[in-house]
Amino acid sequence: MLTSMTRLPLHTLPVFRTAARLQNLRATALEMHLTHSAVSQQIGVLEQQLGFALFERRGRRIVLNAAGEALLGSVDSALAQLDAGVLAAAAAACGAAQRLRLTVVPSFGQRWLLPRMHRWRERHPGIALELHSSQQLVDLQRDGFHAALRQGRGGWPGLSDERLFDSLIVAVASPATARRLQGSGVAALAHEPLLGGAQFWDRWFKEAGVHVRSNPVANFNDASLMLQAAEQGLGIALGREFMVADALRDGRLVRLSEQRLVADSAYDSYYLVYPPALRDWGPLQALRAWLHDEVCATQKMIAPDASVPEQAAVAPLKKSPARSKAKKAAAGS
């Protein structure tokens, strides 16, 4: 006979969810900081209260049966809502000393967010930002974060997301390198030290009408390191416009060509992501408004007539002959 919700042993649900994911009682015990017998007992209590089994035992593994699969979806949703509610309650309890915990991709934090933090402090002196930098996908509710700045396609389960911007990719170099290359064709870049992934450079050259096989001298797992290397004259980099906007304005980098590359569709856009329960929380609303204002300001800065700072202006590289011929042929057709 089915039990009512008022008699459901709610304390067993986190154990059930973890066991369903790990498919092993011992691993579940380690993650939940419980004993093996305590995990087994809690699952037994849940199954006894429900009146049916949730797992099939296969040696050392436990696998959800049909009933367990049906329950897991609701448990995941319910626990996510509870986690978000606790996070919202904790945030509301902070009172005047409000703190917003934000996790960001390292390169985005270093190249775009940090240079703008002084304007956040001026606008919201009563809201402290606690920044966490990680290239790993962080579980906001489990790890106690209020929001994240993520790169991807959106649609993260159990979270609300707002697209902030898309960012095209451009070729940049130090002012000294740009001056040396002034007047050269795009094909000349293939003979320069290239920084970054070969797949992006191959696409960039192909769309510029130059058919070469690139051979970058260095690849990076952090875009900020790659752009720093370019600033120091170690090579030419392909960088996202938003990431290089400040460096272009300050003259630390110079854009080499009008050519723009659309990024891989999996990483096109940057999003603000947060638990739905925090949507109307004051500090999050403040962050959303501030981010959208800063994005608009950056978009104006990277407009075509402001791409290269006047004090470090270098004429764009000449288009390749192949690309020029293709354009003339298209115009005459």
Q: CB burial class (10 A; 0-12, 13-18, 19+) of residue 126?
A: exposed
Decide if 5-89 and 169-263+308-320 have a common fold. no
pLDDT at 326 over 70: no
Name the residue ranges covered by the structural domains of the chain.
5-89, 98-164+267-301, 169-263+308-320
A 10 A CB-CB count for 69 gives 12
Model confidence band, residue 85 (pLDDT cutoffs 50, 70, 90)? low
Between residues 67 and 331, which one has the greater pLDDT?
Answer: 67
CATH class of 169-263+308-320: alpha beta
Query: What are the C-alpha distances in Å from 271 to residues 82, 152, 249?
Result: 24, 8, 24
- Asked if 131 and 109 count as a contact pair (C-beta separation under 8 A), the reply is yes
Query: Residue 41's pLDDT is what?
Result: 92
At 99, the amino acid letter reads R
Indicate the average pLDDT of the chain: 82
pLDDT tens, 313-322? Answer: 333 444 444 3
pLDDT tens, 195-237? Answer: 998 888 998 898 888 888 888 999 988 899 999 999 999 999 9
Give the contacts of 233 (CB within 8 A, at least 6 positions apart).
173, 174, 176, 177
3-state SS of the chain: helix, strand, coil percent to 5? 55, 20, 30
Query: Residue 89's pLDDT is what?
Result: 65
Query: Residue 330's pLDDT is what?
Result: 35
Of 3, 230, 248, 240, residue with least CA distance to 105: 240
* Helical segments of 302-320, H only: none
Model confidence band, residue 86 (pLDDT cutoffs 50, 70, 90)? low
Model confidence band, residue 324 (pLDDT cutoffs 50, 70, 90)? very low
Query: Residue 238's pLDDT is what?
Result: 93
Angle value at C-alpha 290, between 284 and 294, nearest 5 degrees = 145
Query: Residue 58's pLDDT is what?
Result: 87
Q: How many residues does this entry show for the chain?
A: 333
pLDDT tens, 109-157? Answer: 999 999 999 999 999 998 999 999 988 888 887 788 999 999 888 888 8
Q: Which fold has domain 98-164+267-301?
A: D-Maltodextrin-Binding Protein; domain 2 (3.40.190)
What is the distance between the alpha carbons of residues 219 and 202, in angstroms, rounded to a whole number? 14
Please enumerate, as own/partner, the contacts of 47-56 that have beta carbons within 8 Å and a separation of 24 or more. 49/3, 49/7, 49/8, 49/9, 50/2, 50/3, 50/8, 51/1, 51/2, 51/3, 54/16, 55/19, 55/20
pLDDT tens, 285-312? Answer: 999 999 999 999 999 888 744 433 333 3
pLDDT at 329 over 80: no
pLDDT tens, 239-290? Answer: 999 999 999 999 999 999 888 887 665 456 899 999 888 888 889 999 999 9
Query: Residue 96's pLDDT is what?
Result: 39
What is the distance between the alpha carbons of residues 214 and 114, in angstroms, rounded to a whole number? 33
Query: Residue 64's pLDDT is what?
Result: 93
What is the distance between the alpha carbons of residues 333 and 287, in angstroms, rounded to a whole number? 51
Query: What are the C-alpha distances in Å from 116 to residues 140, 161, 203, 287, 291?
Result: 23, 22, 32, 12, 10
* Tokens 């956040």 belong to residue: 120
Query: Residue 247's pLDDT is what?
Result: 95
Instruction: Output Rg (C-alpha) for the chain, integer angstroms.
Output: 26
> What residues are paired with 43 via a beta bridge?
none
pLDDT tens, 177-190? Answer: 999 998 888 888 98
* Portion of the chain with pLDDT greater than 70, in percent: 82
What is the distance between the alpha carbons of residues 154 and 22, in angstroms, rounded to a whole number? 26
Q: Which CATH architecture has domain 5-89?
A: Orthogonal Bundle (1.10)
Q: Is 75 helix (H, G, I), strand (E, B) or coil?
A: helix
Q: Is 144 helix (H, G, I), strand (E, B) or coil?
A: coil
User: pTM of this prediction?
Assistant: 0.64
Of 247, 240, 244, residue with least CA distance to 264: 240
Q: CB burial class (10 A; 0-12, 13-18, 19+) of residue 76?
A: middle
Structure tokens given for 123: 């606008």
Residue 171 has, within 13 A of its CA and on its CB side, a CA count of 27
Query: Residue 302's pLDDT is what?
Result: 83
